[in-house]
Structure 1
Amino acid sequence: MPLPFLTADHDFEADDDIALPFDDHDQWRRPYRPGPWRVGIAALALLLASFVLLAAVIVTVAGATGGALFTFGVAALVIGAALRVLRMGVWVSRAGLRHVSFFSTRTVPWAQAAAVRTTQQPVRWLGLPRTVQGQALVLVRRDGEQAPLLTDHNADFLSRVEAFDRAADTIEAWNAEYAGAH
């Protein structure tokens, strides 16, 4: 079963000179591959869900319908959370830039994006409260609001500096292509 949110639909290492490598710019795409931390967290959650589903089957065979429904519900929540973790990140299309977090999704049209730039600043390590000095890709909106999109210490780019630089360059190229057109 293909999982399109796991792939970047393009081999970035082969064509580093192509800034906007996709044929269909109207489709929302993540311009980078999910990192090993993000995939590992999702895999562990799915492993936990498999054990919970096994427990639900055992509870069903034992005849406790209420407990079985509750256990199946817990398994569905864990599977949903794992899939949401895999969808987290920055997505781009001709329509704008979409920042997907665990509980919310914000879409900014390119007309509202003044700049997308990389800055040195304190960043959160794997999304935890601890901060370290690092790089962040920041979206500057036309109203002056700044929002960090990616950091080199998040679950996609921890210990993958080249991948962060490539993703930041690609997102900046999308911004230059479409924000300049408005």
Structure 2
Amino acid sequence: MPLTFLAADRDASTAAQPDVPLPHSDQDYWRRPYRLGPWRVGIAAVILLISAYLMISALIIALAGPPAGAGVTVGTAVVTIALALRLLRMGIWVSSRGLRRVGLLGTRTLRWREISRVHTVQQPVKWLGLPRTVQGQGLLVERHHGEPLRMLLTDHSADFLGRPEVFDRAADTIEAWAAEHQ
């Protein structure tokens, strides 16, 4: 069974073409131009492990105690599962229609015609999204009207920490999408 979501399973005939930013035949489909990083996957795995413990405790509470307590515990487990899934969904997605930034609580989509420039800059960036800043690279989007967006990607985020070559490839891919569709 071909796993089309893996980068290694891309079609070799389209991967050799330099004019296609992402080697996929359907560019109308929203795609993440990079793989998830180990930090993001690890955090989501720990959250899912916590939700498993919550489900087991809900079963114990349901067998031994009041059903209302078990309902609250199951509700908490469902919220933690939704949090882990949303954490895995977070990131930058591109298609021929535009650029989509999926956050923890919201999603923002910009059409390519709204974007004037996408480029990499050297400046202080947040380390793993925490308040601490370090010197690094970030991908900045400038719009035709309005203020620039927050950094799309940084080389110190949960997807790219310790993997600078992956950040460079992702930034180049997004810049190529922007150049092609503007």
- TM-score, structure 1 normalization: 0.90
* Residues 86-145 of structure 1: CA deviation (Å, up to 9, x unaligned): 011000011100011111111000010111100001100000000001000011111152
**Residue number in structure 2 paired with 1:10:** 7
SS in 2 for 1:107: strand
Equivalent residue number for residue 168 of structure 1: 171
Question: What is the rounded CA distance, in whole Å, between the counterparts of 1:22 and 1:172 in structure 2?
Answer: 17
Give structure 2 stretches of 5+ with no counterpart.
Answer: none
Range with greater deviation from structure 2 (28-37 or 15-24): 15-24
How large is the RMSD of aligned CA atoms in angstroms? 1.9
Q: Which moved more, 1:18-27 or 1:38-47?
A: 18-27
Of residues 160, 178, 182 in structure 1, which corresponds to 2:181? 178
In structure 1, what is the equivalent of residue 36 of structure 2?
A: 34
Please state whether the residue corresponding to 1:128 is helix, strand or coil. Answer: coil
Query: Runs in 1 of length 4+ with deviation above 6 angstroms?
Result: none
- Paired with 1:173 and 1:20, the residues of 2 have a C-alpha distance of 9
Tell me which of 73, 76, 96 is aligned to 1:74. 76
Structure 2 CA distance for aligned equivalents of residues 115 and 12 of structure 1: 31
Which residue number in structure 2 is paired with residue 127 of structure 1? Answer: 129
Q: Give the direction of change, closer, same or farther, for the CA distance of 1:12–1:113 in structure 2 (3 Å limit).
A: farther
**What's the secondary structure of 1:146's corresponding residue?**
coil
SS in 1 for 2:7: coil
What secondary structure sits across from 1:118 in the alignment?
A: strand
